[in-house]
Amino acid sequence: MHIFYIGQGNSEPRQIVERARKLYKYTTEKYKGAPPHITLSLSDWNTHFEGDWDEWANGVINRKNAITRERVYDTYVTETLNLGRANWMILDRAIRHKFPCCYWDGETITNIREIQVLDESDYSVTGICVI
């Protein structure tokens, strides 16, 4: 399983990494299979962003492994229910494609049922996750 992990935008990177480590431990213990691979959204952004937010969001959803041709990300996990524009675009598209999307509160994982738009012109809080 390859998880795309969305951290809180106002958090220090080390805090996001620590919460992602907790998610790794949680999923490894709970699902007793191969351990997940977790990619932080910031890491993906640093590697793939080329100046167009819409294009990057589409890439996160549609990117395929060059060798296997399988989707890179199996699951999308956020640690915040309030989504800025880029993360809203990613999770909204993932849900429309019926890809698994979850909220991680640091203790448990909850499925996200839908994404509600608050204000598309507000880039800091564009939408919220409904769990």
Task: Read off the pLDDT of residues 37-72 as tens digits, 9 standing for 90 and up.
Answer: 999 999 999 999 999 999 999 999 999 999 999 999
Look at residue 10 and tell me whether its pLDDT is greater than 90. Answer: no
**The two three-digit tokens of residue 71, written as one number:** 């989707």
pTM of the model: 0.93
How many Å apart are CA 41 and CA 49, to the nearest integer?
11
pLDDT band of residue 85 (cuts 50, 70, 90) is: very high
Q: What range defines the domain where residue 6 resides?
A: 2-130
Task: Read off the pLDDT of residues 13-41 as tens digits, 9 standing for 90 and up.
Answer: 899 999 999 999 999 998 887 889 999 99
Burial of 55 from C-beta contacts in 10 A (0-12 / 13-18 / 19+):
exposed
Task: Read off the pLDDT of residues 86-120 as tens digits, 9 standing for 90 and up.
Answer: 999 999 999 999 999 999 999 999 999 999 999 98
**The two three-digit tokens of residue 131, written as one number:** 């769990």
How many Å apart are CA 56 and CA 107, to the nearest integer?
30
Quote the number of domains for the chain: 1
